[in-house]
Amino acid sequence: AMSGRAVEAAGDIDVLLLDKTGTITLGNRMAHEFIPISGTTPKTLAENAYLASFADLTPEGRSIVKLAGEQGVKIAEPQGAQIIPFSAETRMSGVDIGGLAIRKGAVDAVQSWVGTVHENIVSEIKRITEKIAASGGTPLVVSRGKEPLGVIHLKDIVKPGISQRFIRIRAMGMKSIMITGDNYLTAKAIAAEAGVDDFLAQAKPEDKLRLIKKYQLEGGMVAMTGDGTNDAPALAQSDVGLVMNTGTQAAREAGNMIDLDSDPTKIIEIVEIGKQLLITRGSLTTFSIANDVAKYFAIIPAI
């Protein structure tokens, strides 16, 4: 704990916000399947998914490259390519090669980037992504230029035993809210499996910040757990910012507690310690007042 005030405040927490990836889930989403749309061959989708991911060093990016290799894709890394890194604002990544832009990213983000496409393509992508999202997976759309090619199915796993921990959190009077950049259907499926009270889907850093301020203006004490750079503003704004030990440097500097075990539900133990501190302080205050009462109403009259 980097702030005694934070430990004390933990005893009064009303709302607990948790980042999904790496906190509620294991965070190592892996590419499970390439699903091309009509008119696109599986090989074309796999090749373009590879090109959009060869410079992506995240576990998701590495898994896409691996899956493409398993499906027979053998492409030398293009020379002179301009790498487009992922950002929380664009929610896409990819590469520009000789004037050709290849992107992969969140469904709505890629659709906005692509612009107007044939209604049949939109309907087919929606059907594929809704099926993936309903299973708790994460869909990523791949586009070459302004032409959508298909969807990558990423699978993530909820941490074992997490639902029982949320039952304890609820019994302690705290509301748990999962925050994720995933679409609504994926967020809904993960939230139901994990057992949280509510969720915020397609969340950007400013959305997290806005949600925390909303509860604080209503008089609530808010705790936030996270591990990423995009969690840093929310961790700094919250009354108790619990950062995973595996988190980024920006997140660790923004929070006021670091969980060495990287267990997001460690907040339960922190809240219990905070309540014990409040009880102990109350007992000491009561003893002090009782001592004063005894002094004025028993000792002095006796003298």
Annotation says 19 is catalytic: yes
Surface-to-core class of residue 285, CB atoms within 10 Å of its CB (0-12 exposed, 13-18 middle, 19+ buried): exposed
Helix H or strand E encompassing 44: helix 42-53
Give the DSSP letter of residue 25: B
Cross-strand bridge partners of residue 139: 153
d(CA 275, CA 269): 10
d(CA 212, CA 224): 9
**Closest by CA position to 113, among listed 138, 85, 88, 93:** 93
- The amino acid sitting at 209 is L
**Closest by CA position to 226, among listed 236, 215, 216, 211:** 236
β-pair type (198-200, 257-259): unpaired
**How many residues belong to the chain?**
303
d(CA 14, CA 170): 10
Helix (H, G, I), strand (E, B) or coil at 70: helix
Contact between 44 and 36 under an 8 Å Cβ cutoff? The reply is: yes
Helix H or strand E encompassing 284: helix 267-294
For residue 88, give Cα distances in angstroms to 61, 162, 274, 294: 16, 26, 34, 62
Catalytic pick among 12, 14, 19, 239: 19
d(CA 43, CA 71): 8
Catalytic residue IDs = 19
